[in-house]
Amino acid sequence: MTEIRIIVCAKEIPDPEAPLSDVSVDAEKMEVIVDAPQVISPFDENALEAAIRITEEMDAKITVLSMGKKVSDTVLRKTLAAGADELILVEDDVFEKLDSHSTAVALAGAIRRIGEYDLILTGRQAGDWDSGQVGLILGEMLAVPCINLARDISVEDGSVVVKKSIPEGYELVKARMPALVTVSNEVGELRYISRTKMLKMMRGSRSIPSWSAGDLNVTPEAFQKMGIAELSSPPDMGRDCQFIEGSPDDQAEKLAAVFQTLR
Amino acid sequence: MSEVLILGEIKEGSLDLKTLELLGAGKKLASDLDGEFSVVLMGDTVSGAADEAIPYGPAKVYKLEHPLLQGFKAELWLASLEQACREINPEILLMSHSFIGMELGPRLACRLNSRLTTDCIDLSIDSEDGLLLRTKPVSGGNAISVFKCPGEPQLATVRGKIFESPETADGKGEIVEMVPQIDESMIKVESLEIVKEEIVALDKADVVVSGGAGLGEEDGFELLEELTEALSKSFGTVMIGCSRVAVDKGWISSDHQVGLTGTMISPDIYVAVGISGAIQHLVGMVHSKKIIAINTDTGCNMFKVADYGVVEDYEEIIPALIEKLEELS
Ligand SMILES: Cc1cc2nc3c(=O)[nH]c(=O)nc-3n(C[C@H](O)[C@H](O)[C@H](O)COP(=O)(O)OP(=O)(O)OC[C@H]3O[C@@H](n4cnc5c(N)ncnc54)[C@H](O)[C@@H]3O)c2cc1C
Ligand SMILES: Nc1ncnc2c1ncn2[C@@H]1O[C@H](COP(=O)(O)O)[C@@H](O)[C@H]1O
């Protein structure tokens, strides 16, 4: 059988799980400031994991595609250490704060440049703007079958078979490839990468291709910014926590009494 | 006249609760625009739901009936909705941020070359230019952003339990039949099987006991199960919730997940066991009436939103707590 070509779209974002104290809002500049390291958006890691599992079943090649104003190859090299075969960065100043549609335009441009593909995997939503749109828009632009919210993905005879989450459970669906699938966390965490593997990849001399907007065969007007009119801090969620002290037994007794008062 | 269109959803033959809330949002926007609001309903039979919608005051209820629209098949629903939008030409189209809205929204936005804002918690009209202001939590809920986007219709999916459904009265709205131009050849994703699972209705619980990565292993949920049993002797409905990490690790199914990409709940009591309190989790439970947190880390976020905190290994405190609750009941 011929090799399956998988493209995983992965976005680099400030750690969305950073403690609340490390996050602030600059209302003037309309920016969320996160004092935490950059990471790969979590659902994109799930998507990469799904892709790697496919390579374990058959001859398949994974290309990771990441777009941004500036993409840190040290963050993204993790995908190579995990098992991706190729990493392509698409970087340009015009890519700053693009809206979902324009992001999909850029990714579609890069994918057309990559050429042949069978399966595109994206995360269900990125952890910075929580938009949840780019995957499906990209599928529409490329005019391929789209499957949203996958919890399990396999490939057989030129088709992708997906367990798609639905409110009452899941739906087993099948589409001819090429196809696009958005991935949810039920797929499972990205596999553990050993320190040595990681270090080797970080220090590696392997050069990572970087394309700019000009390489994508897209008119510059296609890149529109997300229209932010206002950005503010959320209402304070804090409460006064009453700590229950003592030995576990004391604590249990006091906590049981708390429950009594809440009845 | 400006028309605000609402995509209604039907559950067991009746209008979904989220749709009633959307009607509230739509009515408000229509009045700000000096326009009217209407509802579009899709399915194999929607007559009952259409009649049900009229007393809420829409100017029109568009019925898109077709045997192929039975069950949600994305391509067919999308094609039907796209056709309806091109014909109706609404200024604004609102959808629930539901499983259906999450899929149709972005795809429709692309087809109509418009821009969508997802999971909105407020909507209003900019008095200067008449455009839709779409308020949405971003960065998990660490910030609130207001977006204004080009393109028509202006598209938004709306979070549940934010807007109130409008009062009902004698509606004079008109029911308009539209015929979707769809056929089976449009189906690109074939449905092989629908597997129904036992799904917990977390939003119906009075008390939710939730476990996270801090449980350390799947067996931790057995202990939480025992705790829910003990609590259910004194409280109404007690259910098990969890954080995303517990799902990622395969300890529990995702219908138990509380948070941004799980269920948003506000029970009488929320007990968070071994959950750090990442913002994406907090937004799903912070409106609980009382929050009790059990965590080994004094500095964790969960204590910042909790009413009561216990800094202790859950394996120590929970068995003791169960015992005390049994004694008291
Ligand atoms: C776009 C996006 C959407 C997301 N959606 C959701 C969502 O819907 N729901 C959700 O939950 N998360 C969601 N997340 C993930 C979220 O950011 C966190 O990763 C997740 O909530 C952390 O889960 P946790 O608290 O169980 O794990 P951790 O953060 O690892 O916390 C474990 C906690 O357990 C404590 N602990 C350890 N041992 C013990 C012990 N023996 N006894 C007691 N306590 C102990 C630790 O001190 C720690 O506080 C989302 C993330 C993104 C980016
Ligand atoms: N700049 C980007 N580079 C690569 N992939 C992206 C980018 N933006 C979004 N994606 C993909 O699209 C998914 C959904 O993103 P969003 O619609 O922004 O929530 C993400 O999980 C990624 O897989």
Q: Can you tell me the distance from the alpha carbon of A83 to that of A49, in angstroms, rounded to the nearest whole number?
A: 9
A246: left (phi over 0), alpha (psi -120 to 50) or beta: left
Query: How many residues are recorded in chain A?
Result: 263
H-run or E-run covering B322: helix B314-328
Listed by number, the residues of chain A in 172-201 with a beta carbon closer than 8 Å to a beta carbon of chain B are 172-176, 184-186, 188-189
- Tell me which amino acid residue B155 is: L
Q: Is residue B192 situated within a structural domain?
A: no
Nearest residue of chain B to residue A241 (CA atoms): B307
B154 lines ligand 1 (CB under 6 A): no
CATH number at residue B28: 3.40.50.620
Assess whether B26 and B144 both reside in one domain.
Answer: yes
Assess whether B148 and B242 both reside in one domain.
Answer: no
H-run or E-run covering A81: helix A73-82
Tell which atom from ligand 1 comes closest to the C-alpha of B294.
43
pLDDT in tens, A37-51: 999 999 999 999 999
Q: Can you tell me the distance from the alpha carbon of B307 to that of B299, in angstroms, rounded to the nearest whole number?
A: 15
Q: Can you tell me the distance from the alpha carbon of B231 to that of B238, in angstroms, rounded to the nearest whole number?
A: 7
Assess whether B231 and B277 both reside in one domain.
Answer: yes
Enumerate the residues of chain A whose CB falls inside 8 A of the CB of residue B105. Answer: 133
Assess whether B60 and B174 both reside in one domain.
Answer: yes
Residue A49 Cα to ligand 1 midpoint, Å, equals 20
Q: Is residue B293 situated within a structural domain?
A: yes
A247 reaches B (C-beta below 8 A): no
B160-178 average pLDDT score:
94
Which of the listed residues B158, B186, B214 is the one where a domain comes to its end? B186
pLDDT in tens, A7-39: 999 999 999 999 889 999 999 999 999 999 999
Assess whether B299 and B252 both reside in one domain.
Answer: yes
Tell which atom from ligand 1 comes closest to the C-alpha of B279.
17
Q: Can you tell me the distance from the alpha carbon of A114 to that of A120, in angstroms, rounded to the nearest whole number?
A: 12
pLDDT in tens, A145-171: 999 999 999 999 999 999 999 999 999
Mutating to test ligand 1, I would choose from B118, B244, B305, B318 the residue with most ligand atoms within 8 A of its C-beta, which is B244
Mean of pLDDT over chain B: 97
pLDDT category at B329 given cuts 50, 70, 90 is confident
Assess whether B10 and B146 both reside in one domain.
Answer: yes
B156-163 average pLDDT score:
96
CATH number at residue B273: 3.40.50.1220
Assess whether B136 and B246 both reside in one domain.
Answer: no
Q: Is residue B89 situated within a structural domain?
A: yes
Q: Is residue B194 situated within a structural domain?
A: no
A77 lines ligand 2 (CB under 6 A): no
Assess whether B20 and B152 both reside in one domain.
Answer: yes
Instruction: Give the least confident one: A131-140, A163-172, A193-202, B94-103.
Output: A193-202
Q: Is residue B191 situated within a structural domain?
A: no
Assess whether B162 and B280 both reside in one domain.
Answer: no
Signed CA dihedral, A232, A235, A240, A244: sign only = negative
Residue A125 Cα to ligand 2 midpoint, Å, equals 7
B304-308 average pLDDT score:
97
Distance of CA B138 to the CA centre of its chain: 16
Q: Can you tell me the distance from the alpha carbon of B293 to that of B303, in angstroms, rounded to the nearest whole number?
A: 6
Assess whether B212 and B295 both reside in one domain.
Answer: yes
Provide the domain limits for residue B103.
3-186
pLDDT in tens, B6-35: 999 999 999 999 999 999 999 999 999 999
Q: Is residue B164 situated within a structural domain?
A: yes
Mutating to test ligand 1, I would choose from A17, A39, A134 the residue with most ligand atoms within 8 A of its C-beta, which is A17
Q: Is residue B126 situated within a structural domain?
A: yes
Task: Kindly state the tokens that stand for A240.
Answer: 């006064």
pLDDT of residue A1 exceeding 70, the answer is: no
pLDDT in tens, A68-122: 999 999 999 999 999 999 999 999 999 999 999 999 999 999 999 999 999 999 9
C-alpha dist (Å) from residue A153 to A49, A119, A165, B118: 10, 11, 12, 26
A249 reaches B (C-beta below 8 A): yes
SS3 content of chain A, % helix, strand, coil (to 5): 35, 30, 35
Count of structural domains, chain B: 2
Enumerate the residues of chain B whose CB falls inside 8 A of the CB of residue A234. Answer: 137, 141-144
A139 reaches B (C-beta below 8 A): yes
Residue B293 Cα to ligand 1 midpoint, Å, equals 13
Compare CB distances from A140 to B111, B197, B310 and report the shortest one's residue.
Answer: B111
Give the pLDDT confidence score for residue A204 in this predicted structure.
78
Which of the listed residues B134, B155, B186 is the one where a domain comes to its end? B186
B173-185 average pLDDT score:
97
Cα–Cα–Cα angle for B111, B113, B118, nearest 5°?
85
pLDDT in tens, A196-250: 999 988 887 788 999 999 999 999 999 999 999 999 999 999 999 999 999 999 9
Enumerate the residues of chain B whose CB falls inside 8 A of the CB of residue A129. Answer: 138-139, 145
Kindly determine whether residue A185 and residue B244, on different chains, have CB atoms separated by under 8 Å.
Answer: yes
Which of the listed residues B130, B159, B186 is the one where a domain comes to its end? B186
Give the pLDDT confidence score for residue A203 in this predicted structure.
83
Which domains are seen in chain A, by residue range? 4-222 (3.40.50.620)
First-to-last alpha carbon distance for chain A, in angstroms, is 64
Quick check: B96 and B158 in contact, CB under 8 A? yes
From the list B32, B47, B116, B42, the residue with the least C-alpha distance to B74 is B42
C-alpha dist (Å) from residue A81 to A3, A8, A245, B172: 21, 15, 46, 64
Q: Can you tell me the distance from the alpha carbon of B317 to that of B294, in angstroms, rounded to the nearest whole number?
A: 9
Assess whether B170 and B215 both reside in one domain.
Answer: no
Enumerate the residues of chain B whose CB falls inside 8 A of the CB of residue A157. Answer: none
Give the pLDDT confidence score for residue A206 in this predicted structure.
85
pLDDT in tens, B107-148: 999 999 999 999 999 999 999 999 999 999 999 999 999 999
Assess whether B103 and B10 both reside in one domain.
Answer: yes
